[in-house]
């Protein structure tokens, strides 16, 4: 390999991974509250284990969202993923609900009142990132790892591969030359499967999904293609391993190619800057790269609970800038109000658009007509280019 070469690896997990089951249930609860009241406040965590779901957290919302409705939402989410197994079944699992009213001490800091604008729901730092490695301006390893699992899930849901189970993981290692990926050096896929399928059979089921996702000529050597390395993966999902909301934050973002502030997204309404400001940071970073102002861009935002304006806006273009990048923090602030309210209004976040984000990444997805993945738009490109005379 060249001196400029290096290897980088990212992993993804499927919608049926125990932690992702929890993310999906928590976000389905968020969507339910926002459907009934766009101003609802939700912070809901989920635990999953053998035939059991446990919900806990704080909410402020309409009386129509009853405990019975929340239980129905949880069961529907698990059913949609595809769990109908002895150890975890949407219809027979126990659902325990410990959700309660939001603390008034939090509410008083967040709510707008008099001359006070709505404040951040918590302190914290959030990062956004974009690069030119893929058409969607995402790092290639995580983008490919997600798409392998999405392809397998589509085959399972369609009935084309009935031997596959909902739980799966992938890992892709790419070789980089001169900062750009050129090929896969190893691929790992572990997928839950039916009792009557052996490792060789699963390997051949998985193979075309990997080959079709990787760019032509990128497939790794055969001895570096690992499928179910332990040889057996029949017991999976929450029956095999307990799950928790928010435990796959690197899978949710950039696969380790960029910093993460530490806060999870799922289960939180958009007043929580852990979620909304991370979306805003990705939106701004993506627009900087899409406007060809830089080939890579990292943005950090920071907030204090109850305070509307961000405490800091940091922009790093990693030496790839084509313009005076010192102008970017002020310019981005002129193009988007980075208060919690401003972010929600600019990106239209007070909508039930979050269950779909719970698997295969929150970033690098196509914007939906109903406002989902609005942070993936590149509508700031004209104004950013104009600011630099482009």
Point out the annotated binding site. Answer: 17, 19, 45, 58, 102, 167-169, 232-233, 241, 247-248, 264, 268, 272
Which residue in the list 58, 80, 111, 179 is annotated as catalytic?
A: 58
Reading the block at residue 389, the tokens are 């005379």
Which residue in the list 201, 242, 304, 387 is annotated as catalytic?
A: 242
3 state DSSP class of 203 = helix
Angle between helices 328-335 and 273-290 (to 10 degrees): 110
Q: Is 368 a catalytic residue?
A: no
Q: Is 101 a catalytic residue?
A: no
Q: Is 20 a catalytic residue?
A: yes
3 state DSSP class of 97 = strand
Which residue in the list 8, 11, 15, 17 is annotated as catalytic?
A: 17
Which residue in the list 24, 60, 193, 248 is annotated as catalytic?
A: 248
Which residue in the list 169, 209, 286, 362 is annotated as catalytic?
A: 169
Which residue in the list 24, 41, 75, 272 is annotated as catalytic?
A: 272
Q: Is 19 a catalytic residue?
A: yes
Q: Is 33 a catalytic residue?
A: no
3-state secondary structure 131-171: ECCCCCCCCHHHHHHHHHHHHHHHHHHHCCCCCEEEEEEEE
Q: Is 203 a catalytic residue?
A: no
Q: Is 233 a catalytic residue?
A: yes
Report the distance separating Cα 50 and Cα 383, nearest Å: 52
Known binding residues for L-methionine: 58, 102, 241, 272
Which residue in the list 15, 31, 161, 274 is annotated as catalytic?
A: 274
Which residue in the list 33, 127, 225, 233 is annotated as catalytic?
A: 233
CA–CA–CA angle 262, 267, 269 (5° rounding): 95
Which residue in the list 241, 260, 341, 351 is annotated as catalytic?
A: 241
Report the distance separating Cα 364 and Cα 371, nearest Å: 15
Q: Is 248 a catalytic residue?
A: yes
Q: Is 247 a catalytic residue?
A: yes
Q: Is 274 a catalytic residue?
A: yes
Which residue in the list 45, 161, 269, 321 is annotated as catalytic?
A: 45
- Within 13 A of 18's CA, how many CA atoms are on the CB side? 20
Longest dimension (CA), the chain: 67
Which residue in the list 19, 31, 252, 295 is annotated as catalytic?
A: 19
Known binding residues for ATP: 17, 167-169, 232-233, 241, 247-248, 264, 268
Strand partners, 48: 53, 243
**Rama region for 244: left / alpha / beta (φ>0; ψ in -120 to 50; rest):** beta
Known binding residues for Mg(2+): 19
Spatial CA neighbour of 140 closest among 194, 183, 169, 94 = 183
Following DSSP, what letter does each residue of 292-335 receive, concatenated?
TS-SEEEEEEEE-BT--S-SEEEEE-TT--SS-GGGHHHHHHHH
Report the distance separating Cα 170 and Cα 191, nearest Å: 9
Known binding residues for K(+): 45
Strand partners, 171: 11, 188
Q: Is 330 a catalytic residue?
A: no
Which residue in the list 8, 11, 15, 20 is annotated as catalytic?
A: 20
Which residue in the list 24, 146, 193, 247 is annotated as catalytic?
A: 247
Q: Residues with catalytic annotation?
A: 17, 19-20, 45, 58, 169, 233, 241-242, 247-248, 268, 272, 274
């Amino acid at each position: 390999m060249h001196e400029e070469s290096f290897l980088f690896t990212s992993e993804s997990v499927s919608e049926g991974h125990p932690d992702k089951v929890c993310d999906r249930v928590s976000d389905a609860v968020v969507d339910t509250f926002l459907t009934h009241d766009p101003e609802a406040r939700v912070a809901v965590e989920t635990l999953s284990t053998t035939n059991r779901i446990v919900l806990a957290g704080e909410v402020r919302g309409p009386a129509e969202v009853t405990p019975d409705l929340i239980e129905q939402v949880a069961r529907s989410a698990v059913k949609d993923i595809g769990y109908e197994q002895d150890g975890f079944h949407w219809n027979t699992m126990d659902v325990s609900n410990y959700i309660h009213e939001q603390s008034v001490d939090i509410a008083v800091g967040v709510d707008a009142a008099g001359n006070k604008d709505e404040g951040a729901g918590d302190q914290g730092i959030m990062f956004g990132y974009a690069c030119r490695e893929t058409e969607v301006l995402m790092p290639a390893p995580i983008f490919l790892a997600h798409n392998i699992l999405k392809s397998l899930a589509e085959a399972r849901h369609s009935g084309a591969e009935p031997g596959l189970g909902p739980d799966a993981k992938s890992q892709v290692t790419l070789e980089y030359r001169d900062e750009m990926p050129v090929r896969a050096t190893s691929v790992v896929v572990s997928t839950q499967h039916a009792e009557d399928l052996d490792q060789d059979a699963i390997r051949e089921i998985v193979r075309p999904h990997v080959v079709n996702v990787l760019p032509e000529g990128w497939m790794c050597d055969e001895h570096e293609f690992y499928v179910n390395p332990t040889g057996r993966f029949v017991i999976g999902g929450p029956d095999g391993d307990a799950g928790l909301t928010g435990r796959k934050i690197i899978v949710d973002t950039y696969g380790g190619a960029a910093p993460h502030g530490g806060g999870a997204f799922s289960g939180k309404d958009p007043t929580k800057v852990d979620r909304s400001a991370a979306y805003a940071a990705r939106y701004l970073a993506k627009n900087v790269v899409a406007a060809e102002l830089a080939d890579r861009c990292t943005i950090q935002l920071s907030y204090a609970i109850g305070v509307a304006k961000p405490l800091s806006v940091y922009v790093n273009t990693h030496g790839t800038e084509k313009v005076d990048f010192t102008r970017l923090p002020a310019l981005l602030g002129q193009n988007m109000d980075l208060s919690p309210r401003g972010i929600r209004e600019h990106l239209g976040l007070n909508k039930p658009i979050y269950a779909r984000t719970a698997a295969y990444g929150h970033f690098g997805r196509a914007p939906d007509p109903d406002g989902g993945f609005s942070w993936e738009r590149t509508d700031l490109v004209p104004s950013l280019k104009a600011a630099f005379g482009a």
